[in-house]
Chains A and B, each alone.
Chain A
Amino acid sequence: MYLASVGPPRTPLRRAVRNVPGNVVALGIVSLVTDISAEMVTAILPLYLVFGLGLNPLQFGLLDGLYAGATAVLRLVGGHVADRWRRLKTVAGIGYALSAIAKLGFLVAGPVVPAIGAVLAIDRAGKGIRTAPRDALITSSSDPASLGRSFGVHRALDTVGAFLGPLVATLVLWASLNNYDSVFVTSFALATCAVILLVSFVRDQPAPPPVQAPAPIRTTLGLLREANFRRCCIWAAGLGLLTITDSFVYLAVQRRWDIGTSVFPLLPLGTAGTFLLLAIPLGRLGDRIGRWKVFLGGHLALIVALLIICGPIGSWWLVLALHGVFYAATDGVLPAAVGPLLPEHLRASGLAVLQTGQALARMAAAVTVGLLWTLWDLRPAILAFTLALLAVTIAAAIFKPLGVRR
């Protein structure tokens, strides 16, 4: 099923998604609707907890830090189970459904902190479970030569959802006269729509010849004995360990250019906007000149952005644009680079290992930056990280994984 038969108008987006497999577009739409639903809740959650329920923000921070590790583990579980059952679509669907149910959980949980914690945990679990099988499905549904573009299309659609989420939340709050439950109900409805779209329009990968024995966990770990894949994981985690996480970037931008509190929450939109515009072009560039080059180039963009923050020249919008380039050149490009290295029957597990390593490394980075900030101050902490990241990026360019030709 190709979208080639669609007639005029031939907008740039039309041209970009021409010949993109229908399955990838369908997965992109599912992600778009899911992201509207998720970002709606993210936008109002602090307000709801602190204001609607009168919890202390500190309790909220504790809740939030609790599940990041669990999400990482579930990502591995989701990838493994999807490969083992040979059911990528089903496992991804379970992940989407769990997150949808969690939205209603907020209504049931009320002001009870442990119950809210459980609801957030279910929501994160759903996100963790679905990521690897979804990316494996994108890989299986695409022509290896244009995989970067496929991931670019998916990530661009996903980001549109992230943009719309807060807007829809504001609209619902306005229409319901500030009723938070309405936001949760609307979010649930949208998340369920996404599950229906997945069931109806996303096709599971074409069944390969049945594997004699289901892949035991040893085989997933056995992937790491494969030098190329191992190198990819090590570099992704190594770069992740030195990646300044988003909230620090926005904070540093706010301090450097003294941005007002009411504008501050809008800074991520600058990053997301660039990501949205460049996800597809940079994905295609990766297809053409090599995905690993683009992946490392994205890190160079982040390095330049951070140097501008620490330096005397430049402007905040340039930093946000470069931050968006970093995302557009890494977020979908990495799975596109690594996916083809993995055997089809272990693709979800392999991508899960890769992404989990990267996520855990970035969490460690966030903790370290927080610590250095407290000890030194924000700017020296960022500068130290940036120089280390530059060294590792150069090393990753020299000792690149051999299998990543393209």
Chain B
Amino acid sequence: MTRRLIVTAIGILALIGGAITYVIQARDGGATENAVPVVSGQPMLLDGKTLFFRNLAPGPDSGKLAAVPVADPGTPRRVGELHCDRFAAAHGTAICLRLKPSSLPPLTEMFVLDANLHERHRETLPGTPSRARVSPDGRIVNWTLFVTGDSYAATGFSTRTGLYEVNTGRLVKTIEELAVFVDGKRYFASDVNYWGITFGADGNRFYATMASKGRTRLIEADYRAYRGTAIAENVECPSLSPDGRRIAYKQKTGPGTWRLAVLDLATHRITHPPESRQLDDQPVWRDNSTLLYPLRNPSGTQDIWSVGLTTAPKLLVPQATSPSVS
């Protein structure tokens, strides 16, 4: 009995000791060298000529906001001190979403930043970061967060999409109150989820995906009137081109699989840029004919690619995600 007790105690102490040791060494964050060349200490500004992204290259600067010139994305990435899980910018305003460290249930910190990337405003919201955008006029920042346990699979997810007016300070935690019309009738359902807002140049017209009862619809909405209409089906994570004529989005091809597609708003014709790989993000328009988007690579991280409406895809920045040009 005594010997059994001693052996058991030794075994348990060894295991707990091992776990504590592991936790302590994990604090140092693994890699001490950056896997790719990184430049720090350089200023980062929203000058309209820069491609911003979340740096995923292993090393001390992994997870930080990084930048390269749009014209020459191959140069070493510049990093500052800002950590962002999702980042987007337009017209001198940026939004940075960051998962709040060790919060269970998870919380997200939403920062509004000015043209020098200094904090203007901060909100703490429930959920984990998924999408972020700034309206072309820089006045409205919006986001989509995953919220767990809000659906009928115990492990299911739902989304919570909200927005914040930078100048007035008006906060809309969820756009689920939007009056939506489907086939001319006001649509009511308890299971409505929205994700992926994109605003037009006027700062009033916006688009978003509404999911309900197993279908996803593209909603075209008027912000001031706060009402919207379903104009298409199977359009997720819409992104409006700068000229307002097209919507790039991820088109569902099967359970858990999507590809890049482009919808012409005038003709409702759907075309596919020459990119057939799995896409799982809201595409970004670099100009009216080029799209940027992250793709998962075999090693499990992501790379940023660009593709023309009819020209072949190019690798832009390896080990990076959440691209934004500003």
Name A's B-contacting residues (CB within 8 A).
Answer: 43-47, 50-51, 53-54, 56-62, 64-65, 110-112, 166, 169-170, 172-179, 181-182, 185-186, 188-190, 192-193, 196-197, 200-201, 245-248, 250-251, 254-255, 260-262, 264-266, 366, 369-370, 373-374, 377-378
Contact = CB atoms under 8 A, between A and B. Distances in A.
B29 interface: yes
Interface string B79-121: 0000001000000000000010110111100000000000000
Which one of B23, B27, B129, B296 has the highest number of Cβ atoms from chain A below 10 Å of its Cβ? Answer: B23
A366 B155 CA distance: 13
B191 interface: yes
Given A111-B300, A177-B26, 19 more contacts: A50-B157, A57-B146, A57-B156, A112-B300, A175-B23, A175-B24, A176-B24, A177-B101, A181-B26, A185-B22, A189-B19, A190-B19, A193-B15, A196-B11, A200-B7, A201-B8, A254-B150, A265-B148, A378-B190
A267 B255 CA distance: 30
Contacts, number: 155
Nearest to A377: B190
Contact of A264 (B150, B152, B155): B150
22 contacts: A46-B146, A47-B99, A54-B280, A54-B296, A54-B302, A58-B256, A62-B256, A64-B153, A173-B104, A174-B101, A177-B26, A177-B29, A178-B99, A178-B101, A185-B22, A200-B5, A200-B7, A251-B151, A261-B126, A262-B107, A265-B105, A378-B190
10 closest A-B pairs by beta carbon, nearest first, are A111-B300, A57-B157, A189-B19, A179-B26, A173-B102, A261-B126, A265-B105, A174-B102, A176-B26, A189-B15
A46 B155 contact: yes
A173 B103 CA distance: 9
B47 to A, nearest CB: 29
A233 B128 CA distance: 43
Contacts of A178: 99, 101-102
Contacts of A182: 19, 22-23, 26
B4 interface: yes
Given A51-B99, A61-B155, A264-B149, A255 B190 contact: yes
A154 B250 CA distance: 50
Given A181-B26, A182-B26, A185-B22, A246 B12 contact: no
A145 B59 CA distance: 63
Interface in B139-155: 146-155
A58 B150 contact: no
A169 B190 contact: no
Contacts of A374: 191, 213-214
Contacts of A111: 300
A254 to B, nearest CB: 8
Nearest to A60: B155
A200 B8 contact: yes
Contacts of B255: 58, 62
A84 B213 CA distance: 48
A30 B262 CA distance: 56
Contacts of B127: 261
B195 to A, nearest CB: 11
Nearest to B212: A374
Nearest to B174: A261
B153 A61 contact: yes
A261 B149 CA distance: 9
B153 A247 contact: yes
A377 B191 CA distance: 9
A172 B23 contact: yes
B160 interface: yes
A65 B29 contact: no
B12 A50 contact: no
A172 B255 CA distance: 34
Contacts of B26: 176-177, 179, 181-182
B266 interface: no
Interface in B6-61: 7-8, 11-12, 15-16, 18-19, 22-24, 26-27, 29
B299 to A, nearest CB: 9
B105 A189 contact: no
Contacts of A197: 8, 12
A192 B127 CA distance: 32
A253 to B, nearest CB: 12
Contacts of B106: 47, 51
B147 A193 contact: no
Contacts of B150: 251, 254, 261, 264
